[in-house]
Homo-oligomer: A and B are copies of this chain.
């Protein structure tokens, strides 16, 4: 057993067998529940920055009780790749056996599984925090996560209207053609915020993209772009206006999420761990006029959950 070569699964097979569907949303929700119930061991992220290459590697891992395996995931960002026609982001997952530590599978997903487990977390947040009724969705950013977050939302909620804002007008126009909704391109991010009751921010911005005052009572905001110190999509004042602040991992968010900027600007209010909401120990949104925030940095437990799902579908027992 030990000497057997483990299955090595490529991106094409993973794309064919693992989609951004309710199974994925549910398995990511369960991962958050396990994390908050103390049924997971998730060490801090290992981060390697290579300034001379304009490159970075994040390594995340988490053991979750009851799973046959656990994931060690590396995510790469090499931002000169664009010049050579290659994607900037990549990565792979290794699944280790929870009993023996031996390699159960190598998932050469080039970041695909990370993309969908990240979008799925947005759906998990919306389930518990979005206002009632069909949503007026505002997407900030025009990249892959902008598309996937919208797709994930549509798994869990009815969508009435979609607006998009991006710095690059041509990319915003391309976005409208890529998604199965009528999308209005908005030139001003404040106007997008004012017109929306569910906002998802998906950019690597270093400065806030819209004013806290542009966000109406009753709006939910999911911020998934910030995953490193220095990144900051949300006006820190929005945290003080919010009736409920939820974090995928309060420790990670304080270190590299939106919570970091908010704390630096004096926000000292409580934050709730997303897993307490998914577990039903916290009710989520309780008032129709609450502003709610969900700060997502991406957790190793999500990787263990999605890789387990992929292995179950693709590897014969």
Contacts and interface: CB of A to CB of B under 8 A. Distances in A.
A264 interface: no
Contact of A90 (B74, B76, B101, B110): B101
Interface stretch (A77-85, A125-133, A237-245, A287-295): A77-85
Contacts of A50: 41, 63, 98
B106 A8 contact: yes
Contact of A8 (B2, B5, B47, B52): B5
Contact of A76 (B49, B57, B102, B110): B102
Nearest to A75: B101
Main secondary structure of the interface of A (DSSP, over half): strand
B48 A43 contact: yes
A152 to B, nearest CB: 25
A143 interface: no
A278 B20 CA distance: 52
User: What is the total number of copies of this protein in its complex?
Assistant: 2
Which of A41, A70, A96 has the largest count of B CB atoms less than 10 A from its CB?
A: A96
A123 interface: no
Given A53-B99, A106-B106, A110-B2, A48 B63 contact: yes
A53 B10 contact: no
Given A3-B11, A92-B94, A108-B5, A100 B86 contact: yes
Given A8-B8, A59-B61, A1 B86 contact: yes
Contacts of A77: 101
A178 to B, nearest CB: 21
A317 interface: no
A76 B96 contact: yes
Interface in A11-63: 11, 41, 43-50, 52-53, 55, 57, 59, 61-63
Given A41-B50, A76-B96, A81-B101, 19 more contacts: A6-B108, A8-B8, A46-B59, A48-B62, A53-B98, A53-B99, A55-B98, A55-B101, A57-B61, A57-B96, A76-B101, A77-B101, A78-B99, A78-B101, A80-B99, A90-B101, A90-B102, A90-B103, A92-B94
Sorted nearest first, the 10 A-B pairs with minimum C-beta distance are A76-B101, A46-B46, A78-B101, A50-B63, A2-B86, A8-B8, A78-B100, A43-B48, A48-B61, A90-B101
